Amino acid sequence: MSVVTEYPFWFFLFCLLLGGVYSYILYYRDKKNDFSANLIYVLAALRFTAITLISFLLLSPLIKTLNKESEKPVIILARDNSESVLINKDSSYYKTKFIEDLKSFKEKLESKFEVKSYNFGEKIDESKALTFADRFTDISAMFGDIQERYSNRNVGALVLLSDGIFNKGNSPLYSGESFKFPVYTVAMGDTSLQKDILLSKVNANKIAYLGNKFPVEILVSANKLKGQRATIDITKADKSVFSKEIYITSERYSETINVQIEARETGIQHYVIKLNQFEGEINTDNNRRDIFVEVMEGKEKVLILADAPHPDITAIKQALESSFNYEVTTRFIDQFNEPLNKYNILILHQLPSLKRNIANITTQASEQGLPVLYILGSNTNFNSFNQLKQGIQVLIEKSGFTDAQPAFSNNFALFTLSEQTKKVLLDFPPLQCPFGSYKVQNSSDVLFYQRINGITTERPIILFSSDLNKKFAVISGEGIWRWRLNDYLIKNNHEAFDEIITKTIQYLSVKVNKSFFRVFVNNNNYENEPLMFSAEVYNQSYELITDPEVELTITNEQQKSFPYAFTKSGSSYTLNAGVFPPGSYKYLAKTKVGEKLYQQVGEFSVSVLNLETYNTTADHNMLNNLAGKHKGSMFYPKQLDDLANTLLKRDDIKTISYAHKQFTDLINLFYILLIILGLLSTEWFLRKRAGSY
């Protein structure tokens, strides 16, 4: 510990000088006092010390302390809590003896290390109990959580106790690249093949269109059933729509079956895919799959009109065609002479342009209430565009265009983007945006602002607006194709870019809702997700109100009803209906405003979440490779004592001491005040005792 100040240390001499001068003037210049010589020395010393100390505090001195702390190494136990661990012949061992051995293993490590235990599967938590009830396994998410929690910590090792089966997220072999500590694995589960026939994978569109046939791809696998015959059936409302007999020709058999099913009714259609069961199967849950297909009237037809060829056009077209909801047509304006009434959405790329007047196109779109997406660029005629009054006016300056990256607007509420997309967005390359002043209508909603040289401006990149008849959006820059390429470079897919484009078009395609009562719910849900409803009620002036009560009734396939009441939340209503078993459901919502009764009906589906039953063969090879990659080893559950001894003997897993400086203002110390008060009080007492003031 030491005392430091921002002033040179010789400034302390001035403090001594001030204390000496003050005490001299007070006690030696005044010849009238009757104090004895010894008392004068004492009083002068007290005053000298007090004044010197007070003046020294004016130099803002700090007490510097060097604190040393020791951090024991942390051993992280990551325990697989998924259902697949128990789907084998050793299930009773994992529910009893293994849990006892794991407790002893942890106690042995705690003699030297700090041990942190986490369960993983559907989520990561610090629960002490292992239930083996999670319905999917995401090891990569657990790795990411550990990296976030223990960054810059003294982590000795990670012990991963798992069967190696993961059915969500990225491969664990590539998810823990940044780990700076060894990884040990404990190989749980059973690698031997069990007698089983299963639906390994079922691929089907979530949306189909009335009168069309939609494909269903089914992968059937069978183990240890050579020479047997199986039957696969697809039914809807207990009526067969497809059936096929399968002859199993090998001990490890697989076959892909492609089926075309005709969509004959609108709404959410529930199909059940089943395989017959065989005697001796340990797991029969994987013999059935339920799929839900929403059958709609027809696809949304999108027309992209462009001034000239541009990679932006292809990027947008590919993003929309990744969804089965859209049928995309591209045309160049100099070749286009069709009516617009056969299209549902219009995208104008750099139109109106410097060479092309499209007054006839914009007039048709306005008359038909056709939603329009404008993409601005170097060929845009900004004077003509500003005259269209599409929620924004751009007054471009002579310097032309500037590079601008997107910055998400936290106030945007027309639709939601996933957190993953928001993160990737930060690394998207810039667009070429017009440089000038932007006038944005107050009624417009901005999705992305322009971020120029790291500074977020008030200029929009993507905004939405509307009038009484239609919606429109503006992308105020060209080069959006680079976003799609960068998305693939970062994540090896186009999901973020496709989400931005498809949700933009999806919002535009939804007709302006003029009803006074609106209810919203996700059409497709999993059985572990709570059903979240929201509702809005408007008065005759289209102002949101929350005075009336809103009721909801959900009806399942057996015609059983479940009544609920919405809760008022701000200017709208919300309802958490909880989790529902798999199936298709209908709902009826009611509210009464004055004497008028409003109703809304709809449908939604709940799908089975049983990923853990599709693959029950433990992947010990992956666990061994993972441990070897991170300078660890693989052990088996009955070798936990050996693993504990290995960790305890490692010389590189040791306690680390940290030293850090701490500065404290001397003037903030309470005992300094006591010392000064003590000096002055003692001086006053001695003076009074001697008969003076």
pLDDT in tens, 528-573: 889 999 999 998 877 889 999 999 999 998 999 999 999 998 889 9
Which overall architecture, per CATH, does domain 517-607 show? Sandwich (2.60)
Give residue 255's pLDDT band: very low, low, confident or very high (50, 70, 90). Answer: very high
The correct CATH number of 73-192+617-654 out of 3.10.450.40, 3.40.50.150, 3.40.50.410, 3.30.830.10 is 3.40.50.410
> For position 258, what pLDDT does the model report?
92
- Give the pLDDT band of residue 692 (cuts 50, 70, 90): low
Q: How much is the mean pLDDT over the chain?
A: 88
Assess whether pLDDT exceeds 80 at residue 512: no
For 303-348, what is each residue's pLDDT tens digit?
A: 999 989 999 999 999 999 887 778 899 999 988 888 888 899 999 9
For residue 276, pLDDT over 70 is answered with: yes
Q: How high is the pLDDT of residue 513?
A: 65
394-453 tens-digit pLDDT: 888 776 889 999 999 988 888 888 888 888 888 899 999 998 889 988 888 999 999 998
The CATH fold assigned to 300-509 is Rossmann fold (3.40.50)
- Residues above pLDDT 90, as percent of the chain: 41
pLDDT of residue 160: 94
Q: Provide the pLDDT confidence category of residue 235 given band limits of 50, 70 and 90.
A: very high
Q: How much is the pLDDT for 410?
A: 87
Burial of 286 (0-12, 13-18, 19+ CB in 10 A): buried
Specify the pLDDT at position 282: 79
**What is the pLDDT, as a whole number, of residue 195?**
87
Q: Contact 77/117 with Cβ under 8 angstroms?
A: yes
Q: What share of the chain is helix, strand, coil (3-state, %, to 5)?
A: 30, 40, 35
Region 151-159: mean pLDDT is 90
Nearest residue to 269 via CA among 584, 609, 588, 601? 584
Pair of tokens at residue 300: 């949304």
> pLDDT at residue 600 above 60?
yes
Phi and psi dihedrals of 155, rounded to 5?
-85, 120
Does this chain's domain 300-509 share its CATH topology with 517-607? no
pLDDT score recorded for residue 57: 86
CATH number, span 196-296: 2.60.40.10
pLDDT confidence tier of residue 374, bands split at 50, 70 and 90: very high
* Structure confidence by residue, pLDDT tens digits, 483-501: 999 988 888 889 999 999 9
d(C-alpha 684, C-alpha 46), whole Å? 10
Rounded CA gap, 81 and 130, in Å? Answer: 6
Token pair 């030293």: residue: 659
* DSSP E strand stretches across 426-530: 431-440, 445-452, 455-466, 471-475, 517-520, 524-526
Q: Which residue has the tokens 């160049």?
A: 332
Q: Quote the CA–CA distance of 630 and 634 in Å, as a whole number.
A: 11
Asked whether the whole model's pTM tops 0.75, one would answer no
- For the stretch 450-472, pLDDT in tens is 999 889 999 999 999 987 677 89
Helix (H) or strand (E) holding 523: none
Tell me what pLDDT residue 293 has: 86
- Per-residue pLDDT reduced to its tens digit, 22-73: 888 877 766 556 677 788 888 888 888 888 888 888 888 888 887 787 888 9
The per-residue pLDDT for 31 is 56
Model pLDDT, residue 541: 78
Domain ranges of the chain: 2-67+662-689, 73-192+617-654, 196-296, 300-509, 517-607
Q: What is the pLDDT at residue 669?
A: 82
Position 102 scores a pLDDT of 93
pLDDT of residue 643: 94
| Residue pair 459/436 in contact by the 8 Å Cβ criterion | no
Nearest Cα to 327, choosing from 356, 363, 296, 350? 296
The DSSP element (H or E) to which 328 belongs, if any, is strand 326-332
pLDDT at 359: 87
Sequence-separated contacts (24+) of 411-420 with Cβ below 8 Å:
411/446, 412/445, 412/446, 412/447, 413/445, 414/445, 414/447, 414/464, 414/507, 415/503, 415/506, 415/507, 417/499, 417/500, 417/503, 418/496, 418/499, 420/495, 420/496
The whole-number pLDDT of residue 59 equals 84
Please count the residues of the chain: 693
